């Protein structure tokens, strides 16, 4: 009799173990399917409304609207500077620099900082036009660049600047920045 009871308990425990193994296997397969579906999907982050257009960034690429807003902000930081805030100015530019271009950009910025430190030379830029190409990750900014000594305007010129970008993961970073030469300057 004791052997019959022991046999029934053993069979009951074996059934419970099989059900538990089947449930664990099903859970494992479900988790595996979820992980694979999440790793192949494009990631997307919806940004808070900062203008009239809804913005989102995705791992599949950068939208033209987002590239335009980032270009606008970086151009305004890069092209508006005063001697009182040169260290902050350089630090903010380097925060958006691509790691592969960091050294080159830093060397150029350090040269500007050493030239302007202790002077009364300031620069202000007013954007008059902005075009972006989200496919090639380039943008061109047109505007009026004014140079001041103290409070006196000593130069005011129309300038065009080209920005090159790199998009990796969900990070847009500055790869290059250059003044686009004037057509009349190029012919000289």
pLDDT 10s digits, 14-32: 898 898 899 999 999 898 8
pLDDT at 170 over 90: no
The residue that leads in pLDDT, 55 or 117, is: 117
Domain membership flag for residue 76? yes
| Shared-domain flag, residues 107 and 73 | yes
| Shared-domain flag, residues 149 and 117 | yes
Question: At 2, is the secondary structure helix, strand, or coil?
Answer: helix
| Shared-domain flag, residues 24 and 67 | no
Q: What is the pLDDT of residue 6?
A: 83
| Shared-domain flag, residues 33 and 93 | no
User: Across the chain, what does the average pLDDT equal?
Assistant: 86
Residue 177, classified by CB atoms within 10 Å of its CB into exposed (0-12), middle (13-18) or buried (19+), is: buried
| Shared-domain flag, residues 110 and 172 | yes
pLDDT at 188 over 50: no
| Shared-domain flag, residues 176 and 86 | yes
Question: What residues make up the domain containing 4?
Answer: 1-41
Over range 28-52, report the average pLDDT.
Answer: 71
| Shared-domain flag, residues 30 and 112 | no
Q: What is the pLDDT of residue 11?
A: 87
Q: Report whether 43 contacts 58 (CB < 8 A).
A: yes
Tokens of 90: 């350089």
pTM reported for the whole predicted model = 0.69
Q: What is the pLDDT of residue 165?
A: 96
Q: Report whether 127 contacts 69 (CB < 8 A).
A: no
Q: What is the pLDDT of residue 48?
A: 57
Tally Cβ neighbours within 10 Å of residue 143: 20
Over range 54-72, report the average pLDDT.
Answer: 83
Q: What is the pLDDT of residue 53?
A: 66
Domain membership flag for residue 46? no
Total number of domains constituting the chain? 2
């Amino acid at each position: 009799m004791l052997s019959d009871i022991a046999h029934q308990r053993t069979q009951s425990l074996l059934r419970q173990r099989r059900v538990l193994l089947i449930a664990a296997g099903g859970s494992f397969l479900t988790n595996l399917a979820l992980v694979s579906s999440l790793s192949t999907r494009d990631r997307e982050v919806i940004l808070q409304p900062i203008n009239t257009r809804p913005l989102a960034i995705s791992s599949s690429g950068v939208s033209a609207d987002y590239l335009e807003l980032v270009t606008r902000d970086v151009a305004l930081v890069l092209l508006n500077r005063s001697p009182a805030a040169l260290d902050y100015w350089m630090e903010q530019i380097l925060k958006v620099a691509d790691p592969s271009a960091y050294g080159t950009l830093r060397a150029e910025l350090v040269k500007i900082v050493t030239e302007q430190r202790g002077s009364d030379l300031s620069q202000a830029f007013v954007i008059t036009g902005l075009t972006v190409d989200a496919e090639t990750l380039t943008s061109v900014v047109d505007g009026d660049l004014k140079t001041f000594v103290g409070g006196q305007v000593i130069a005011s010129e129309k300038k065009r600047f080209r920005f090159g970008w790199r998009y990796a993961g969900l990070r847009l970073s500055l790869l290059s920045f250059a003044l686009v030469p004037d057509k009349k300057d190029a012919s000289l």
